[in-house]
Amino acid sequence: MIAGNLIDGRAIAEQIHQETAQRVARLAVRGIQPGLVFVRVGEDPASKVYVGMKEKTSTRLGISSRTHALPATTTEAELLGLIARLNVDPRVHGILVQAPVPRHIAEARIYSAVAPEKDVDGFHPQNVGKLMLGDPTGFRPCTPAGIHELLIRSQVSIEGAEVVVLGRGNIVGKPMALILMQKSRHANATVTLCHSQTRHIDSHCLRADILIAALGSPEFVKASMVKPGAVVIDVGVNRVLDPAAKNGSRLVGDVDFLNVQPVAGKITPNPGGVGPMTIAILMQNTVRAAEMAVVGS
């Protein structure tokens, strides 16, 4: 393994946590504690783990957090009612509704119900619109914003780079493309967004100076698809069967890591790459929401 080309997401996330803790301390001097509320509907095992990790980080940084764990039978109206109450609670600066929600609940309607100034996940249409327009006053979605920080803090040159994003999802793919194509510092990239209907996807990937895989397909990106020296960011989390594993399965990314790593100039491990950054940006967004509330009060 060529350890020298790894982008250490855990180490970079820790840098951000230290910066966030300093901002929390400055707010504490003024008698303000950032408040973050998680809303989880149902008993999805992965959601429980993710919320638990976020709660633990919140506590460590001095951010007040609590979780509303609702049964899977919760109606959309009941969930909207809870969000409405949280929107007007002055102790709450950030609201995160953990995906997925049960099928009988319209996810888009829920995201739209969260007050934009408390939408630390960056999914409200107002924040999405601000991102598209290049307005920095909105909140950016945590995973693509975290990837952006990974690139910046790893001294990856983005300006003028050919970037290929694999996946057109609303959580990562689309906002990632928007972030990197902005006419601003640490952006100005030429972005190609590929998806399931893209023809000759290999040829697109081979042009990429920066290749971001967020399509939810186990080990889709092979070494033959990567330009030597390219930066490869693996966002995927996929469970595959493995009889040799303890529970009969294991988690892999969207990149065939062992074979791609020797080709890449820089590459994120999985786990330990993008995941820690998502949480770091969530905490950063929450503290920023608290700071904005102070200014607006």
Catalytic annotation, pick one of 118, 119, 121, 254: 121
Catalytic annotation, pick one of 98, 118, 174, 266: 98
Question: Can you name the residues that pair with 167 across neighbouring β-strands?
Answer: none
The question of whether 121 is a catalytic residue gets the answer: yes
The question of whether 266 is a catalytic residue gets the answer: no
Torsion-angle region of residue 200: left (phi > 0), alpha (psi -120 to 50) or beta?
A: left
Name the residue among 1, 7, 4 with its Cα closest to residue 155: 7
Measured at the CA of 248, the angle between CA 247 and CA 252, to 5 degrees, comes to 95
Catalytic annotation, pick one of 54, 118, 130, 266: 54
30 phi, psi to nearest 5 deg: -95, 10
The question of whether 227 is a catalytic residue gets the answer: no
Residue type, 71: P
Active site residues: 54, 98, 121
